Copies of this chain bind each other. A is one copy, B any other.
């Protein structure tokens, strides 16, 4: 009896979709280049995922100095490290069992770091109270999202549990839903109006979903991945009111909260907006908000630090959460969260370098956003909604009918075909819209916008050459 026959059908069903040919080909091309095979380009540019450091952005010195000193406390005696770095590391080590980042922590995270996160949230939301008891730290925010799904999704009973998700949504989350046995209820964002979320569309989707499953939760990503939009306060209020009317649990992915580029726009959290609504709503709508050390200007994806804050949940649920979140999260990821939410202040020795570094990263991303829009404006067959926030743009491809026909013949999605050829001919790796969901007969690709300037310029030149050629060939 082979193990393959033993595999759970649930797991098998997760992977009915094709293999990730794009990533496999990217890895092959890299190997070919290393083996000296001739290409039109020297290396693959990977703008397929949201990873600042892979895109050449340098880590924040303050963060790395504190982390290094926590790992190797002999550095606390080192004259080359600033005083505030050493003080901070000393405090953090005092919060670790046995004074070592090598000890397990409480499975919800280190108590003092949960305090630090709740203070940050209170400041961010202009004084709306936050309690460390409602905060659970995990190995990345996706893990927190998975655990919340596990709480929500009924495996038994005649009707599948349904979760409303946006079209488009990033594929990791779609896979997590399938994995947990949820029914996916798609609602479409309105691309023409800058990927806005419209309540009529939510209602349509919910009522359609009720015919086949039992919808219990609404998932929102704000600022949006892959769309780069940010919701207005009015839009957030509408969504909350809808959730209250329809008794839906709100799962709010707010990992891009610190990345807002549009002038005169500030991130407002769902929790803050909720707290300022009528008390019949503000005290009842159940909400989980997710955040991460991976997606801010720090970009520390590899450390795996994320958390969820729970709002309006029955206290008895917290006991379930405590037990479900039962594995100690990586301690250095937790420290990264602490540093992200309690930054150097004016007057601190690390402040000048720190603020210079953050400003420089912000500038790079803003410049990239402008350059991307400029380049797209020059090209026929690509249009793009304004990029306001987050790490990605999701431009629309208006492909020639011949290209679409060819793709159909090859039994491949047209934007996948586009991305495969873009990779093959220029070495630029981006992801096709078909992975995220999109309106029928529309085509897109997702591009990471937060890479170093020269890498972005190189990527845009490759895209420009390829796109012009592709459109010509198929026109």
Check if A320 sits within 8 Å of B12, measured CB to CB. yes
Give complex CA distance A98, B331 in Å: 23
Check if A2 sits within 8 Å of B97, measured CB to CB. no
Check if A216 sits within 8 Å of B6, measured CB to CB. yes
Residues of B within 8 A of A323 (CB): 14-15, 175
Check if B8 sits within 8 Å of A153, measured CB to CB. yes
Check if B3 sits within 8 Å of A140, measured CB to CB. no
Residues of B within 8 A of A21 (CB): none
Residues of B within 8 A of A327 (CB): 139-140, 142-143
* Residue tally, chain A, CB below 8 Å to B: 86
Residues of B within 8 A of A302 (CB): 96, 100-105, 328, 330-332
Binds B, one of A68-76, A384-392, A393-401, A422-430: A68-76
- Which chain A residues (15-69) contact chain B, with CB distance < 8 Å? 15, 19, 46, 49, 51-56, 59, 64-65, 67-69
Binds B, one of A310-318, A348-356, A402-410: A310-318
Check if A11 sits within 8 Å of B313, measured CB to CB. no
- Which chain A residues (169-184) contact chain B, with CB distance < 8 Å? 172, 175, 181
Give complex CA distance A10, B327 in Å: 19
Contacts A51-B97, A143-B327 aside, 10 further interface pairs with beta carbons under 8 A come to A3-B313, A7-B320, A10-B155, A14-B324, A54-B100, A55-B98, A104-B294, A139-B304, A155-B155, A302-B332
CB pairs A–B below 8 angstroms (14 shown): A2-B314, A7-B320, A8-B150, A8-B154, A51-B98, A53-B102, A54-B100, A67-B71, A96-B302, A101-B303, A103-B301, A104-B302, A303-B330, A304-B330
